[in-house]
A and B are shown apart, each in its own frame.
Chain A
Amino acid sequence: MQAIQKTKILFQFSIKKLFNLLFLFLFSCSSNLVKSEDITPEKIICGNLSSQLVDKNINFISKNSDNFEYILSSIDKDLSKDDFNLIVFSGSKPSPGYKLELNNIKKKNSIYHLDFINTKPREGTTNLAVISYPYCVLNVDNLNKFKITIN
């Protein structure tokens, strides 16, 4: 009887553990099961554009895109495609006070996870009333498979 009770408790504990693991697996944004590697980009430049260079639904342009060089030079004619391999956009914002910033890059299972954040204008600042398009231009070594998160 005691053994049955112990078995039952063990089972309940196991079930709870299993649920916890499952919960963590399902609802975690980053996998705790896979060891990740922090990546530092070789170069990164973030700023704001006042012209919309790409469709509003496009969040990034990678180096193998046909218009990568054109977009890059539209951002800044001094930027070279040899120095960068990814451009990230976060859509239109009410003012240049909205910035796009890189939070971190983690490599997991050969996939690069690029995590960006949008920041709002700080309280007490003044900002131009022009529609702006925050961007980051960066170069990440060996960037092959990747996913981008913008919060």
Chain B
Amino acid sequence: MFNLKIIKIAFFISFLTLSACGGGGGGGGGAAGGGTSYTVTNCNDSGTAHQDTEYNYMSSAFHSVKPLTAICASAAYARGATGDGIQIAVMDTGVDADHTDINANMVAFTNGSDVVNSDNDASDDEGHGSHVAGIIAAEHNNSGIHGVAYDAQIYAFKTLDSNGDGTLADAGTGLGLIEAIGAIDIINHSWGSSGDCTSASNCRTVIGTAFYDNWEDVSQLATPKITVFAAGNAGANEPSPQCQTMAYNTDISAVSVCVVAVSHSSLGTDGGLLADFSNQCGKAADYCIAAPGDRIYSLTASGGYAFKNGTSMAAPMVSGGLALIMQEFSSLTPAQVVTRLLSTANDTSEYSQTAKYGHGLMNLNGATAAVGSLQTINGSNLLDDPNTSYYDLVDNTFLSSAAFSNAINKALDGKVMEVYDSFDRANFKVNVSDFFSSGSYVSQNTIENHMARLMPKNKQKVKHKNLYGNFSFEVDENFIESTLFQSAGDFLTLGYNKSTNSFENAVDPLSNFFNDNPFGNKYLVNPYFYTGSGQDYFMTFNGNDTYGFDTFTNGNTSDLGLAFNFNPLSSTHDDKKYVGDLQVVLGTNYEQNKFLNATSTGVFSTGDMSNTNFTGLKYKKNITDGLTFVGSGFAGYTYIDKTKNSYINDSTPLLTSSFTLGLAKSNFIKKNQTLGFFINQPQRVEKGNINLKVPTSSDRDRTVTYSDLIVDLEPEARQINYDLVFNKSITDMSNLSANFTHVQNSDHASNSENQNFISIFYKKTF
């Protein structure tokens, strides 16, 4: 019979025996604890983008920081990286391919995949391989756990037996099988052998010639396979000889990573420090990185889950991380994927100890974010070609004209293109529309625009401005005040002004209707002379009543316009007094680095000489005494001048139109009162498109594929403005003006809300 007393005796005897004999049994290993606790500041990984129960896997109550949080996985997931399309070979004890948490990500066992038993069934009879495979690619299926790269695919190769043991020869054979499968991108090795090596040839002997040679081969394929090795668990200063080999063979080291383990477990080293069992990076530091490997929860071979410790668990974390990077950036070669992983690791503070941690703790936030600045490619489709140039994103802009902004917004909605970071030209997707901003006609009707008409022409200083309350300003020695109110959704303006300054005539938009100049009002201007960019210069030559011409240029001389005006009908001729005034306009306009007043820079640039040929008709007739009809219509064809290497690759001529119809009544009800009603369609593209050629994909051979993006510039709707204008001259020095504008389909967009603007102005000149 056993009893407690006997057990105590047995303990005592055992202790004495070991002491006396110097025996090495009992305990050993285990968590030593101690050391300075290090607070992980690896990344700002709030997990908000990926908070599910599975995200907390690999964790337990013992973890101060969850393993996936420690490597910033959620940031990568938020960017869409899941490992999809990446194939990873797990050379291990096999994998339980029927485990419900990974079966969907398993590739069918390949011929000879069970090297140990020389058959095709690489099922797991030990459990280790399933655990490793789960860390890489367990499914994200709302049960159990999920892997770091939960959409990656796993190839299983069994080179270690049911006891976890294998031979160097079998390892070489297994790697030979993997070498023959072109689809495999990454090979995970959560195993090693004993010994050290001191040169390439020595390493070849130590790790086995077959394995060494095959490793060299897979590293030198046209598309090399990335190799990940566990550093080993002896708690030594140097990693396994497989990791040491990386220090002596540059072909291998270019696409290989050695992984040491850190612990976030209170039962282990904790605090993100190197796990007490983990070997250090040692001579492989240049190719080494750290990842969580202490008490990691993953799959077993019997359909369940278990915790395991070791660099065996850290290595698949890194294999999964590499898969995320590889999927996220199709433009990177395998060697660049490795370099990016290493370069973006957290190497601050504790992790700055190169001999221990190599490049530091894996950081999938940094690895999947832009390193350096994001840039557009220009000049070729080869990422590394010396003729290829790059523009920072801010240097690529397109400010579209309201004549087609609706169409371009619609056409570009959901369209993406590639840009590249300045570090290694990793490719990022951005919305094409991010570079485009819309010009708007609505701004013509904004309250600020209305109020701007009240502003004196000399220098002024805005003292206080509030769109939702009072609006006032003062000018040196002149006092001007206005009051502004805004109603919800629509604008109501009440303005009061007194000043010794003169105001722009636009305060009274009807002022030119009844003067001697038949076409001098704002409703009949030439829409192809794009005023408002600063200083506008007009020159008008009238040969006689029947013809003349106008020239236009703006302050920066980017526009040059010329219009011939023919007046076949003129009311100034006594014999045609009642037929009204008719003007026919024929003209052309050249725009520098823009078209239809749409400006662009960088990869969206246009040439120096975009040209519009236009024609127009203006007509004015006094129907009865005091009742005047006005009408004008313009149409033009614009030819975009393409520039070298611009994404605006081609275009058809753009047909544009605009028109105004209106009636104005003087002496409306009372003398000195006028009323006008106008219907106006601002400039609109009626037909035409541009062909954008934008980079949409890139391959590991560093070539970029451009795709055509044909953008029909005709907007979906037609903006019509209804303008009702009233003006009353109270005295010679004071004037009251009211304006109601109703805008339908603003900016030619069908989904825009109708807009109403009401303005009332009173002007008094002292």
On A, residues with C-beta under 8 Å from B are 29, 47-48, 50-52, 56-60, 62-65, 90-97, 111, 113, 116, 118, 120-121, 123-132, 144-151
With A51-B307, A51-B308, A145-B10: A131-B25 Cβ-Cβ less than 8 Å: no
Contact of A128 among B6, B25, B26, B128 (CB under 8 A): B128
Number of B interface residues in the complex (CB < 8 A): 64
What is the CA–CA distance of A45 and B208 in the complex, to the nearest angstrom?
32
Cβ-Cβ contact count across A and B, 8 Å cutoff: 185
A sample of 13 more A-B contacts (CB under 8 A), given A127-B191, A129-B232, is A91-B27, A92-B28, A92-B277, A96-B163, A97-B165, A125-B193, A129-B312, A130-B310, A131-B29, A146-B10, A147-B16, A149-B25, A151-B25
Q: A125 to B29, alpha carbons, bound, how many Å? A: 22
| One of B9, B16, B310 near A129 (C-beta < 8 A) | B310
Q: Which residue of B lies closest to A123 (CB)?
A: B194
Q: Across the interface, do A92 and B29 meet the contact criterion of CB distance under 8 Å? A: yes
Max chain A CB contacts within 10 Å: which of B128, B167, B234, B307? B128
Judge whether B394 is part of the interface by a CB distance below 8 angstroms. Answer: no
Within 167-224 of B, Cβ neighbours of A (below 8 Å) are at: 167-168, 170-171, 190-195, 208
Contact A29 B20 (CB under 8 A): yes
> Which residue of B9, B26, B195 is within 8 Å of A91 (Cβ)?
B26
A125:B165 contact, CB within 8 angstroms: yes
Out of A56, A60, A96, name the residue touching B29 (CB < 8 Å).
Answer: A56
Q: CB distance A147 to B13 under 8 Å? A: yes
Which residues of chain A are within 8 angstroms of B234 by Cβ–Cβ distance? 94
Set of chain B residues within 8 Å of A95, measured between Cβ atoms: 164, 191-192, 232-233, 310
Q: List chain B positions with a Cβ less than 8 A from chain A.
A: 1-4, 6-7, 9-10, 13-14, 16-18, 20-21, 23-31, 92-93, 126-128, 131, 159-160, 163-168, 170-171, 190-195, 208, 230-235, 240, 277, 306-313, 315
State how many angstroms separate the Cβ of A124 from the closest Cβ of chain B. 6
Of B24, B194, B208, B313, which one neighbours A121 at CB under 8 angstroms? B194
Complex Cα gap A90–B166 (Å): 22
Distance in Å: Cβ of A30 to nearest Cβ of chain B:
9
Cβ contact of B23, chosen from A56, A58, A60, A151, cutoff 8 A = A151
- Minimum distance in angstroms from A126 CB to a CB of chain B: 4
Query: Which A residue's beta carbon lies closest to that of B189?
Result: A129
CA A97 to CA B165, docked complex, whole Å: 6
Q: Which of B18, B25, B30 contacts A92 (CB 8 A)?
A: B30
Instruction: Please list 10 pairs of residues, one from A and one from B, whose beta carbons are closer than 8 Å in the complex, sorted by A's number.
Output: A56-B30, A93-B29, A95-B192, A126-B159, A129-B192, A129-B240, A129-B312, A145-B6, A148-B25, A151-B24
Which residues of B are found within 8 Å of A93, using beta-carbon distances? 28-29
B26's partner among A50, A127, A131, A150 (CB-CB below 8 A) is: A150
| A96 and B233 contact, Cβ closer than 8 Å, known pairs A129-B312, A130-B313, A147-B13 | no
Closest to A64 in B: B2
Q: Would you give the shortest CB distance from A10 to chain B, in whole angstroms?
A: 33
A144 near B168 with CB under 8 A, answer: no
Residues of A near B18 (CB, < 8 A) are 149-150
The answer to whether A59 and B30 touch across the interface, beta carbons within 8 angstroms, is no
CA of A113 to CA of B194, assembled, Å? 32
* B residues near A111, Cβ cutoff 8 Å: 13
Among residues of B, the one whose C-beta sits closest to the C-beta of A26 is B20
Which residues on the B side are within 8 Å of A90 (C-beta)?
25-26, 28
Q: CA of A151 to CA of B30 in the docked complex: distance in angstroms?
A: 18
Q: Which of chain A's residues has its CB closest to B166's CB?
A: A126
Q: How far is the CB of A68 from chain B (nearest CB, A)?
A: 10
A23, B739: Cα distance in complex, Å: 121
Minimum CB–CB distance for B20 against chain A, Å: 7
How far, in Å, is B645 (CB) from chain A's closest CB? Answer: 52
Please name the residue on chain B nearest to A59 by beta carbon: B26
Partner of A64, one of B3, B21, B235: B3
Q: Which residues of A contact B235 (CB under 8 A)?
A: 94
Beta-carbon nearest neighbor of A100 in chain B: B25
| A-side contacts of B3, CB under 8 Å | 64
Task: Give the contacting residue for B164; candidates A48, A62, A91; CB below 8 A.
Answer: A48
Alpha-carbon separation in the docked complex, A137 to B31 (Å): 24
B23–A150 CB distance below 8 A: yes
Across the interface, do A50 and B308 meet the contact criterion of CB distance under 8 Å?
A: yes
Whether B28 pairs with A129 at a CB distance below 8 angstroms is no
Q: A95-B233, A123-B195, A127-B191 are in contact. Are A29 and B240 (CB under 8 A)?
A: no
A-side contacts of B231, CB under 8 Å:
129
Shortest Cβ distance from residue B315 to the other chain A in the assembled complex, whole angstroms? 7
* Contact residues in B for A128 (Cβ distance below 8 Å): 92-93, 126, 128, 160, 164, 190-191, 310, 312
Q: Once bound together, how far apart are the Cα atoms of A135 and B25, in whole Å?
A: 12
Nearest opposing residue in chain A for B15, CB measure: A147
User: Given contacts A126-B192, A147-B14, A150-B26, are A131 and B308 in contact (CB under 8 A)?
Assistant: yes
For the complex, what is the distance from the CA of A148 to the CA of B308, rounded to whole Å?
28
- A97 to B160, alpha carbons, bound, how many Å? 11
Q: Is the CB of B26 within 8 A of A51?
A: no
Most chain A beta-carbon contacts within 10 A, residue among B27, B170, B231:
B27
* Chain B residue contacts of A126, Cβ below 8 A: 159-160, 165-168, 170-171, 191-193
The answer to whether A50 and B128 have CB atoms under 8 Å apart is yes
- CA of A121 to CA of B313, assembled, Å: 20
A125 and B163 contacting across the interface, CB-CB below 8 Å: no
- Minimum CB–CB distance from A146 to chain B (whole Å) comes to 5
Q: Within the complex, which residue of A47, A113, A146 is in contact with B163, where a contact is CB–CB below 8 Å? A: A47
Residue of A130, A132, A149 most packed against chain B (CB within 10 A): A130
A50 to B313, CA, bound (A): 12
Q: Would A144 and B2 count as touching, CB distance under 8 A? A: yes
Contact for B190 among A58, A64, A124, A130, CB less than 8 A? A130
Question: Chain A residues near B168 (CB, 8 Å)?
Answer: 124-126
Distance of A151 Cα from B21 Cα, bound (Å): 9
Complex CA gap A126/B171 in Å reads 8
B residues near A129, Cβ cutoff 8 Å: 190-192, 230-233, 240, 310-312, 315
Collect the chain B residues with CB atoms within 8 Å of residue A113's CB. 17
Output the nearest chain B residue to A56 by Cβ-Cβ distance.
B30
**A144 with B6, Cβ < 8 A, contacts A56-B31, A94-B277 known:** yes
A143 to B394, CA, bound (A): 82
Docked CA distance A124–B165 (Å): 11
Most chain A Cβ neighbours within 10 Å, of B25, B30, B93: B25
Report the nearest A residue to B229, measured CB to CB: A129
The residue of chain A having its C-beta at the shortest distance from the C-beta of B208 within the complex is: A124
A91 touches B29 (CB 8 A): yes
Contact status A116-B25, CB under 8 Å = yes
Shortest Cβ distance from residue B188 to the other chain A in the assembled complex, whole angstroms: 11
On whether the beta carbons of A96 and B7 are closer than 8 Å, the reply is no
Q: Which of A52, A96, A146 is in CB contact (< 8 Å) with B30?
A: A52
Q: Smallest CB–CB gap between A89 and chain B, Å?
A: 8
Q: Which residue of B lies closest to A144 (CB)?
A: B6
- Chain A residues in 8 Å Cβ range of B127: 50
- Is the beta-carbon distance between A59 and B190 smaller than 8 angstroms? no
Interface residue from A64, A130, A147, A150 paired with B233 (Cβ < 8 Å): A130
Instruction: Give, as a whole number of angstroms, the nearest-CB distance from B274 to chain A.
Output: 14
Q: What residues on B are CB-neighbors of A151 within 8 Å?
A: 21, 23-25
For the complex, what is the distance from the CA of A90 to the CA of B21, rounded to whole Å?
16
- Give CA–CA (A124, B308) in the complex, Å: 25
Nearest CB on B from A14, distance (A): 27
CA distance A60 to B128 in the complex (A): 25
Kindly identify which residue among B167, B208, B310 contacts A131, using a CB–CB cutoff of 8 Å: B310
- A59 close to B25 (CB less than 8 A): yes
CA distance A128 to B1 in the complex (A): 40
**A132 and B165 alpha carbons, distance in the complex (Å):** 12
Chain A residues contacting B2 (CB-CB under 8 Å) are 62-64, 144
Q: In the complex, A95→B160 CA distance in Å?
A: 12
A148 to B6, CA, bound (A): 13
Cβ-defined partner of B25 (8 Å) among A29, A64, A150:
A150
Q: B25: nearest residue on chain A (CB-CB)?
A: A150
- The residue among B23, B164, B171, B234 with the most chain A CB atoms within 10 A of its own CB is B164
Give the docked Cα–Cα distance between A97 and B232 (Å): 12
Question: In the complex the two chains form, is B17's CB within 8 Å of A147's CB?
Answer: yes
